[in-house]
């Protein structure tokens, strides 16, 4: 009996202890809450895209590699310092030099510092070429940056356009539902035929389908933008609709002046042409002599010490100068020069092509921006007129002066006008952003 009571008390004690331990743990768990969506401006989107774009980061990596190539080429113009330690043992044969007569002594210790310098036009040409290639990499990084800007701008305002169209279709669906209710009411009063209700019902069904398609298009636009902006594929964000705040257009002459000075494609092609010219110089420098200078200081003695046992001083210096004059290498140098000239000619063609393309792009993009801005007022006027037309047509329909087909046509016209105005604002904002990619002001 006492054993049963002990077991019961132990069980109660364990339950109480478990409850004491468990309650604080439960209280420590935070209540789940839905995180508010992240609100992004266009500049926020650009900053995130630059941090997460693999292609843009690869361009920055290439720029860093090109910079280090320039540093290494510059180091080739300067003297190098090394400290060499060597011990040579020769089998003795009773003579001071040992078995090998070319050696100095049986035990030879070398411990010398060496200042080494190569003087030739090749190193200089390679350094200038490395500098030009760094400029190419820097310009290509700018090209990648501006290309990323275009992609982000298109995705950003593409999402805004999709959201606006969804809102327009929502409003059109609401209007079609109101018209369906109106036609049913008039039918019940014997004022219109059942055919009008059927037509209104079809219009309402079409708007419901359009609403679903608009939702799908908006979701796709959000997915496309999320891929550009987030490394963890985050869809919990909203964008600020600033399409109506497009900056004014500058004059064409001012735009051309800035674009010609800051265009990275032309800079990349120009730097590539300079690099190709120095590659030709580097190949031609193989025809010229090369001077090599070496300064040695240290010991080269049979004992590893500053003085011999007889007091002779082992520390000292030596200078060596070598002039290498190229004579014949079976046409290898000439072949390299021909290769370099071919690359130089191709680089020159790419430079002229980039200059021509810049001229065409400046005129095309400016004309696009100018047209988009000029059409905004017309699109806004058309949307306002379409809204007024629908209102008047519904009033006439209620008075029996218009048909259901006229109402449906007015509804469709209003939806198209609203979408066209939304597209027009986005088009104008995107056109300005494209201009800014040429001028480098974004």
* Residue 140 CB neighbours (<10 A): 21
| Predicted structure pTM score | 0.73
**pLDDT > 70? residue 17:** no
119: pLDDT strictly greater than 50: yes
The values of phi and psi at residue 93, to 5°, are -140, 20
Core vs surface per residue 176-214: b (16+ CB within 10 A) or e: beebbebbbebbeeeebeeebbebbeebbebbeebbeeb
What is residue 257's predicted lDDT score, i.e. its pLDDT? 83
- Domain locations along the chain: 43-78+129-288+361-439
Structure tokens at 150: 């275009």
Q: Is the pLDDT of residue 348 over 90?
A: yes
Return the pLDDT at 65: 95
pLDDT given for residue 21 in this prediction = 38
pLDDT band at 275 (very low <50, low <70, confident <90, very high): very high
CA 134 from chain centre, in angstroms, equals 18
Residue 11 has pLDDT above 50, yes or no: no
Q: How large is the average pLDDT for residues 275-300? A: 92
CA distance 214 to 331: 69
**246, pLDDT greater than 80:** no
Span 149-173, average pLDDT:
90
Q: Which CATH architecture has domain 43-78+129-288+361-439?
A: Up-down Bundle (1.20)
What percent of the chain stands above pLDDT 70? 91
The answer, yes or no, to whether residue 44 has pLDDT greater than 80, is: yes
Residues listed for the chain? 442
pLDDT at 441: 65
Q: What is the pLDDT of residue 358?
A: 87
Residue 442: what pLDDT? 59
Q: What value does the mean pLDDT take over residues 299-327?
A: 91
Neighbours of 229 (CB within 10 A): 24
Residue 31 confidence (pLDDT): 38
Residue 34 confidence (pLDDT): 64
Q: Between residues 432 and 75, which one has the greater pLDDT? A: 75
Which residue spans within 226-375 are E strands per DSSP?
237-239, 290-301, 316-324
Compare 324 and 17 and report the one with higher pLDDT. Answer: 324
Mean pLDDT of the chain: 86
**Does residue 222 have a pLDDT over 90?**
yes
Question: Which contiguous run of DSSP H or E holds residue 108?
Answer: strand 107-119
Q: State residue 1's pLDDT score.
A: 43
Q: Which residues pair with 324 in a beta bridge?
A: 290
User: What pLDDT shows up at residue 136?
Assistant: 92
What whole-number distance in Å separates Cα of residue 311 and Cα of residue 314? 9
């Amino acid at each position: 009996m006492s054993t049963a009571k002990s077991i019961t008390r132990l069980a109660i004690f364990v339950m109480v202890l478990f409850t004491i331990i468990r309650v604080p743990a439960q209280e420590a768990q935070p209540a789940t809450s839905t995180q508010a969506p992240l609100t992004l401006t266009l500049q926020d989107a650009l900053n995130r895209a630059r941090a997460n774009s693999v292609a843009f980061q690869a361009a920055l990596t290439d720029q860093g590699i090109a910079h280090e190539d320039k540093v290494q080429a510059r180091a080739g113009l300067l003297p190098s310092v090394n400290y060499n330690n060597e011990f040579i043992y020769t089998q003795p044969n009773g003579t001071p030099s040992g078995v090998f007569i070319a050696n100095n002594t049986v035990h030879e210790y070398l411990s010398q510092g060496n200042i080494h310098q190569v003087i030739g036009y090749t190193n200089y040409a390679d350094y200038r070429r490395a500098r030009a290639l760094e400029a190419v990499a820097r310009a290509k990084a700018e090209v990648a940056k501006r290309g990323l800007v275009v992609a982000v701008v298109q995705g950003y305002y593409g999402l805004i356009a999709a959201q606006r169209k969804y809102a327009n279709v929502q409003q059109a669906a609401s209007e079609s539902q109101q018209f369906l209710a109106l036609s049913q009411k008039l039918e019940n009063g014997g004022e219109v035929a059942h055919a009008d209700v059927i037509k209104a019902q079809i219009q309402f069904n079409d708007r419901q389908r359009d609403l679903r398609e608009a939702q799908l298009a908006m979701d796709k636009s959000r997915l496309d933008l999320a891929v550009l902006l987030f490394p963890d594929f985050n869809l919990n964000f909203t964008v600020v609709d600033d399409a109506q705040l497009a900056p004014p257009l500058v004059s064409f002459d001012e735009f051309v002046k800035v674009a010609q000075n800051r265009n990275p494609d032309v800079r990349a092609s120009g730097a590539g042409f300079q690099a190709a010219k120095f590659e030709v110089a580097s190949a031609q420098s193989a025809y010229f002599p090369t001077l090599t200078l070496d300064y040695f200081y240290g010991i080269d003695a049979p004992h590893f010490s500053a003085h011999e046992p007889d007091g002779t001083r082992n520390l000292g210096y030596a200078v060596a100068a070598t002039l290498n004059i190229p004579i014949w290498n079976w046409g290898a140098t000439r072949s390299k020069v021909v290769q370099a000239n071919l690359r130089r000619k191709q680089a020159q063609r790419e430079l002229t092509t980039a200059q021509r393309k810049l001229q065409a792009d400046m005129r095309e993009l400016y004309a696009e921006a100018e047209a988009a801005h000029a059409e905004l007022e017309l699109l806004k006027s058309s949307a306002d007129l379409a809204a007024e037309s629908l209102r008047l047509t519904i009033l006439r329909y209620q008075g029996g002066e218009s048909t259901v087909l006229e109402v449906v046509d007015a509804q469709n016209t209003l939806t198209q006008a609203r979408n066209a105005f939304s597209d027009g604002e986005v088009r104008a904002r995107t056109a300005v952003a494209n201009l800014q990619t040429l001028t480098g002001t974004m």
